[in-house]
Structure 1
C-alpha cells in the first residue's frame, strides 16, 4: 500500500476539474484545460504574492524541512502568483488572424524596447534563433559565422543544419565571449561556385558559456561596422540581453543597434514560464512568421504566454540587478575561501551566472554537485537547517550557478554557508 501524498491530491484535483469541464462541454459551456490548470495553480498560491522557499514539504525551511536552492539555470524560476494572475486574466484572441490583443501589445512593446520595426512571439529561444537563421539564409548551403562556444552551435541540436542546410563556420570564442575580428574577416566567403557563401553572423549577449559575460560595446560597434561594409546581417542571440543591459546601464536598443535581428527569452532572467520574442525589420518578421508556421510554432491564443511577458517587462526587468548582486555575494564567498580546490574569477561575474573551476586533483564537477545536494548531520548541526543546492556541471572542470527570480536573499545566505562548508570539507587532495 502506498500512502497518498500532496502531489497525488493535486493531480486528483486537476483530474476532477477536467472531468467537470467535460461535463460542462456537453452543456455547450467550453472551459479550456489550460484555464482549469491555471485556476488550480492560482487557488493553490492565492494566500501569498511572494515566492516561498522550496522545501521537501512544500512549506518553509522550518519544521524539519529542506531548503532547496536551485541554481542550475534561470529556467527553473517559478512565476509569482501575481504573474500567474496575468495568465488567468489575459484578454485573448486568434493570433493567426492577428487578433490576440495581448500578443499584439507584447510584440509592439518588444519591438520598441529593441529598437526594431516589428517582433514575433515564439515558443522558445531555440526556435527564435532557428527562425532567424532560416529567414536570413534563404539559400541551401549558406554558411553562418558564429563562436564555437555559442548556444546556437552547442545546445540547439544543429537545427540550422538539420532543418535549413545552413552550415556553421565557427571561430574560437575568447574568454570574454567575443571572437577575433581579424579571424572573422578571414573566415568570410563571398559568392564562389567552389564554396559556400557567408550569409549571416551570429553573436550571443550575455554569453552563457563565457560565464554570463557582457560583450564589450566597442567590439560590437567594430563588428557592426565591418558587417555593414560586407553587407552581412548580424543576428544576436539575446536570451539574456536584458541582463547585459542592466549590467552596462545601456539601453537594449543601443546594444543591438547594428544587429538586423535579435531574439529575447521571456523565460530566463525575466522568469516567465515559456516563450521568446524575435525582433527585426518588418519584411524580416513577415518571413519569420511563415517559417514559424512551418516549424509548428504558430499558436492559437498565445496571449497566455504574452501576458506574463508584459508583466515581466514591467516588474522583473527592473529587479534583474538583484540577481547580479546575488552572484557577487556568492563569488566573493568562494574567492574568500582561498581554496585551491574550487576557485572563481570574481571580475568575470558580470551578471547572473558564475562559473566555479574545480581542480581535478581535489574533485570533479560531478562530485561537487553531488555533495551540494547531500545533507549530513554534521553539516546540519553547523548550518541549523538542511540545505540542498542544485548546480550544473558544464564541462570536465567547471560548474555553473545561475541566480534568478526565485532565489531570495535568504536562499543566497544559505547557499553561501553551505558552499563554504563544502569547500572546506572537500579541499583536500584526492589520495593516489
Structure 2
C-alpha cells in the first residue's frame, strides 16, 4: 500500500514537473500576468506567426513583433561607412573608444565596454560579479536573463540561480529577496550569494518601468549583505524617457548595467556594458573568452554613437503610438480585446482576446494575412505582424520603423478583424 501511494505521488510530481518544463504545442497556455494566475508556468513558443505570402506592393506591412527588427537609416549607414577604425582587441579602435566613453558618461558609470549582444553582456556581468563557480545570483522568475538566455550563466559560468517571484509591475517582494540570501559562507552545504539582477523595462510584464524607490531599496538591501546589483537594461532608455529622468538617475541604484543599442535605438548590432573600472577590466577578459573580442569594430560602434546621441528622445514617439493602439483596442466595437492601460508605460502593449474560441495564434495569423473586403473597409490591405505571448495574450512592440500612419492602419486592422470575427460567430449560431 505504501509503495502504491508513493508511486502515485511520484507520478503526480513528475506530471507537475513536466507541465512546468515541456514547451506546449499552443503558445497561449502560460498563466501569468494580466490578472491571471495559474499552476502551470509554461513559456510561449517563439515560432513566428504564419505570414500570408503577399505579392501586391500596395499592401502595407506593419511589423510589431519586436523592436529588434529596426534597420539603420541613411545617416547611420553613412556614419558606419565613414567610421575611423582600428584593432579594438588592442584597444586601438578610436570609434569604439569614443562610444565607450560616451556611454560611461551618459550612464554615470566609471567605464563601459562595447559587447556584441545583450545576452553576452549579461553573461559577462554575472561572470565578473560571481567570480567562483558555484556562486549564486538572485533573479526574478520571469526575467529575460532567467528565461530567454538559455541558462548560459549555469552552462558557461557555473553560476547557480535562485528566483524571486516577479510581480505584475516587474518588481519583486524585498522580504522574499532577503529570505533568498545565503548566510554562513563557507558552509559546505550552500552556494554563496553574490548578485541580484533586475530588469528595466520588464519584457514579459509588458515594458513596465521599475520605480526608482524600489531600485534604491534593492541596492541598499544588496549592499547590506555584500551583494552587487546588475540591471539588464536592454530597454533602460525607454524607462528613462518614460520617467523623464536621466539614465544616470536610474543607474545610481545599480553596480553595473547592460543597455541594448539594437532595439528601439536602432543600431544594427551591440550592447553597452558599464560599471566601475575594475569591473570593466575583468569584463574585457570575459568578453575575449566568450569570443566577443572584435577587431575593426568601429564600423558597428559608429552606429552605436548615433543611437546614444540622436535616438533616445524619439522613444517617446514609440510610447505615444503604443498608447494610441492600446486605447483603440479598448474602444473597438464590437468589443474583442482586453488591455490594462495602466500597464502600457513604454513601447510594449500586451492584450487579450475576450472570446476564447479565437486563440492568440489564430488571431496573429488573421492579422498577418489580408482578408476579403479588407481594402474596402480599411482603405488598403494591411498585414500586422505580432507574437502570441504569455497568459493567452498577444504582444505588440513599437519602434522607429512604425510611424503614426502605420499605427493608425494597425488600429483599423484590429477593428476589421473584430468585425469579421463577430459576423462569423453570429453566422455560426
TM-score of the pair, normalised by structure 1 = 0.83
Helix, strand or coil for the counterpart of 1:362?
Answer: coil
Q: Deviations over 1:117-176 (max 9, x none)?
A: 100001000000000001111111111101011000110010001001111101110000
> Are residues 1:279 and 2:269 paired?
no
Give the aligned partner of residue 98 of structure 2. Answer: 105
Q: 2:365 aligns with which of 367, 370, 387?
A: 370
Q: Give the deviation of 1:360 after TM superposition.
A: 5.7
Give the aligned partner of residue 343 of structure 1. Answer: 338
> Are residues 1:177 and 2:181 paired?
no
Segments of structure 2 that go 5 or more residues without pairing to the other structure are 1-52
Do the aligned partners of 1:117 and 1:281 also contact (CA within 8 Å) in 2?
yes
Counterpart CA distance in 1 for 2:333 and 2:222 is 44
Counterpart CA distance in 2 for 1:385 and 1:425 is 16
Q: 1:223 aligns with which of 175, 200, 218?
A: 218
Do the aligned partners of 1:331 and 1:346 also contact (CA within 8 Å) in 2?
yes
Do the aligned partners of 2:333 and 2:419 also contact (CA within 8 Å) in 1?
no
Counterpart CA distance in 1 for 2:90 and 2:252 is 30
Do the aligned partners of 2:350 and 2:396 also contact (CA within 8 Å) in 1?
yes
- Tell which has more relative contact order, 1 or 2 (C-alpha 8 A, sep 6+): 2
Q: 2:191 aligns with which of 190, 196, 206?
A: 196
Do the aligned partners of 1:143 and 1:168 also contact (CA within 8 Å) in 2?
yes
Q: Which moved more, 1:218-227 or 1:173-182?
A: 218-227
Q: Deviations over 1:51-108 (max 9, x none)?
A: xxxx967xxxxx8521110010001111111111111011111111111110000000
> Are residues 1:159 and 2:144 paired?
no
Counterpart CA distance in 2 for 1:125 and 1:256 is 17
> Are residues 1:321 and 2:316 paired?
yes
Do the aligned partners of 1:56 and 1:65 also contact (CA within 8 Å) in 2?
no
Counterpart CA distance in 2 for 1:423 and 1:230 is 53
Q: Which moved more, 1:109-118 or 1:309-318?
A: 309-318
Counterpart CA distance in 1 for 2:318 and 2:72 is 15
**Distance verdict in 2 for CA 1:200–1:305, change over 3 Å:** same
Equivalence map 1:356-367=2 (5 Å): 356-359=351-354, 361-367=356-362
Counterpart CA distance in 2 for 1:389 and 1:341 is 17
Do the aligned partners of 2:335 and 2:418 also contact (CA within 8 Å) in 1?
no
Q: Which moved more, 1:333-342 or 1:120-129?
A: 333-342
Q: Give the deviation of 1:340 after TM superposition.
A: 5.5
RMSD: 1.7
**Distance verdict in 2 for CA 1:338–1:222, change over 3 Å:** farther
Give the aligned partner of residue 401 of structure 1. Answer: 396
Give the aligned partner of residue 141 of structure 1. Answer: 134
Q: How many residues are matched?
A: 373
Equivalence map 1:43-82=2 (5 Å): 65-82=58-75
Do the aligned partners of 2:261 and 2:304 also contact (CA within 8 Å) in 1?
yes
Give the aligned partner of residue 229 of structure 2. Answer: 234
Q: 1:381 aligns with which of 372, 376, 379?
A: 376
Give the aligned partner of residue 253 of structure 1. Answer: 248
Counterpart CA distance in 2 for 1:64 and 1:285 is 49
Do the aligned partners of 1:247 and 1:350 also contact (CA within 8 Å) in 2?
yes
Segments of structure 1 that go 5 or more residues without pairing to the other structure are 1-54, 58-62
Give the aligned partner of residue 118 of structure 1. Answer: 111
Do the aligned partners of 1:365 and 1:396 also contact (CA within 8 Å) in 2?
no
Q: Which moved more, 1:335-344 or 1:255-264?
A: 335-344
Do the aligned partners of 2:333 and 2:418 also contact (CA within 8 Å) in 1?
no
Do the aligned partners of 1:134 and 1:164 also contact (CA within 8 Å) in 2?
yes
Q: Which runs of 4+ in 1 moved over 3 A?
A: 338-341, 427-432
Q: Give the deviation of 1:426 after TM superposition.
A: 2.6
Helix, strand or coil for the counterpart of 2:320?
Answer: helix
> Are residues 1:390 and 2:385 paired?
yes
Q: 1:301 aligns with which of 284, 296, 299?
A: 296
